[in-house]
Structure 1
């Protein structure tokens, strides 16, 4: 080869051949066997006991057009094993996966009314950088945004995927929220009706749910054990499969906002189902007996205000106690005021117009009020 290059009058042949030899060495040492040597590290797709054909279980010859040599189109490829039973059984019959391998039916989760938009085909770009920098790019998602096809494992399904820090930097994922922030924080195409979740959970805010850091409020008597005011929670504690027996993760849900339990954001009657999500961490009995706020029961049971009427479930950059009034239900007072002020433990003041009452302003004392069980309710309670 060197002689051929010299005869054609090309100089510096040794320099030109360097990339060739480097590539040859890499091919010899970084072979498919290197992937399967990690099968003991929990990488499911690197386990020859599960993928009987090794690389050929997923990659076929030249493969489908515009895919990395995959046997199916990218938007349906993962469902060959992680879809309806008929597809996984076909994969077993073809010898692609072992017959004793149990695979979750993720496909059925994406068929629920609320799901990540994997059906937006032809938009995802291999190696795309997140958060999205192009404001005109349609919102979309793909399996590969959350799971690395080679490195994902049973114990760490996010392994190999880059995340986004609370400050917007690309990092290796340590905490679950860093994966979520790749799409739900600093993306230029974030819809106007959505908020930057990194900003909402910012520990410098007056209040926030403890995803990035423990919360600031040390007086939360409603917490369900073992939760304490120093506990941390994850995004998937709220956003997850609504079927506890189904596959874990926020793939799809029958509840709006991809929630694991029901959360009613409009005013109406109070009941265990209406605020099931909130009551998963905050004892209903504590809330309705006014242990934390002297007028909780009055507002929830008698007036019929939703938790969302007063509280933002992610955080508030204005007030403590997650106070952020829902403007769909709350208006300014007759004098044009709309604010919340804390005066001390379980004592504060609101200036607003809500549930037909003008608070201009209204002071809430620290004394515990009589629970609704001793007075009639405007709305029928669901017990």
Structure 2
């Protein structure tokens, strides 16, 4: 006499067997991964890579089974024709030569317009952070989703923080040069990725993750946000006035070295002493400003709460307080 618990477990096993049998019958014995893929995998498989239809497929189409697009238990999982179209001329081709391309072809040298390729992706990936894709900079530049993303592989480089720069720098070559300069964000070191600051799916003109350059910078550099008693106008306006975030040859990502960077806005003739430059002759100014950087005195250039020299309305508001200097 078997116990009720054993009988219940046996009933579950029998039910699972019949369900799997029914699913296999519905799926078809010839389907390798996706439901109804037999008409495609009869040619596009791993059995013979010497076939003309397989020579240009790297990685193999069957690698999609290792990705989210190959999860058969998910009812949202697409089939081959959901992405590539019905492609009747491709399927009905007879002979040993190469068949016509599918209706939607995503290869490197494809002649399928980017708009049609993107529509295939957006039929599923429409909401969330992709909702503004149609008005994004990349979409308006005829960049396709598959220009960056690879579907038939379990390692999509653009989703890997350490590898995504290879994808971005394929087009953004100027930024490739900049991140190799002495002063740069730790992109090459793998601590910061392009997507740490940029979101190519939104409609921001600079593809930033926030609405402005400053808000994007403040997501990491919170100590620069303020508010301060004495605010430096370029700081509150745009960090990129003084900094190049991708990389420079000057320290601290500055576009040029002080005092030359500062004098692009501040006329040296209005300084209390001589302009911060080379001496012009005997008695040509105070030694503190000759050949020195402005930051020797104005240490809190991003903003300060110091009251030093603030009564006369001078730039002393950015000077470190007397008590701290002592």
Contact 2:134 2:140 in 1 (8 A): no
In the alignment, which residue of structure 2 is the partner of 1:181? 169
- Residue in 2 that maps onto 1:109: 132
**Unpaired runs of at least 5, structure 2:** 1-46, 91-99, 106-111, 277-288, 315-326
Give yes or no for the alignment of 1:252 onto 2:202.
Answer: yes
Q: Which has the higher helix share?
A: 2
Q: Deviation digits for residues 91-121 of structure 1, max 9, x if unmatched?
A: xxxxxxxxxxx64447643223x4204564x
Other-structure match for 1:201: 179
Aligned to 1:211: 187
Which of 99, 103, 109 in structure 2 is aligned with 1:70? 103
1:82 to 121, 136, 141: 121
Q: Could you state the TM-score of these two structures normalised by the residue count of structure 2?
A: 0.52
Hey, which of these two has a bigger chunk of strand by percent?
Answer: 1
Shift of 1:289: 8.5
Report whether the alignment pairs 1:158 with 2:157. Answer: yes
Cα pair 2:255 2:261 within 8 Å, conserved? no
Structure 1 Cα separation of the partners of residues 188 and 65 of structure 2: 32
Unpaired runs of at least 5, structure 1: 1-22, 89-101, 121-140, 162-172, 186-195, 214-230, 241-249, 265-274, 291-295, 326-338, 342-348, 379-383
Q: Bigger radius of gyration, 1 or 2?
A: 2
TM-score, normalised relative to structure 1: 0.45
Does the 8 Å contact 2:104/2:117 carry over to 1? no
Whether the 8 Å CA contact 2:133–2:201 is kept in 1: the answer is: yes
Counterpart CA distance in 1 for 2:137 and 2:196 is 16
Contact map agreement 1:70 1:77 (CA 8 A) in 2:
no
The answer to whether the 8 Å contact 1:210/1:232 transfers is: yes
Q: 1:368 to 1:81 in 2, by over 3 A?
A: same
2:192 matched residue in structure 1: 233
Give the Cα–Cα distance (whole angstroms) in 2 for the partners of residues 28 and 350 of structure 1.
60
| C-alpha spacing 1:207/1:30, structure 2 compared with 1 (3 Å) | closer
Shift in CA distance, 69/282, structure 1 to aligned 2, threshold 3 Å: same
Partner Cα separation in structure 2 for residue 304 and residue 47 of structure 1: 48
For the residue of structure 1 that corresponds to 2:258, the secondary structure is strand
Count of paired positions: 223
Q: Is the 8 A contact 1:262 1:277 kept in 2?
A: yes
Aligned-residue offset at 1:158: 3.4
1:61 corresponding residue in structure 2: 88
User: Are residue 320 (structure 1) and residue 308 (structure 2) matched?
Assistant: no
RMSD: 4.7
CA distance change for structure 1 residues 232 and 176 in 2, over 3 Å: closer, same or farther? same
- Give 1:41 shift: 1.6
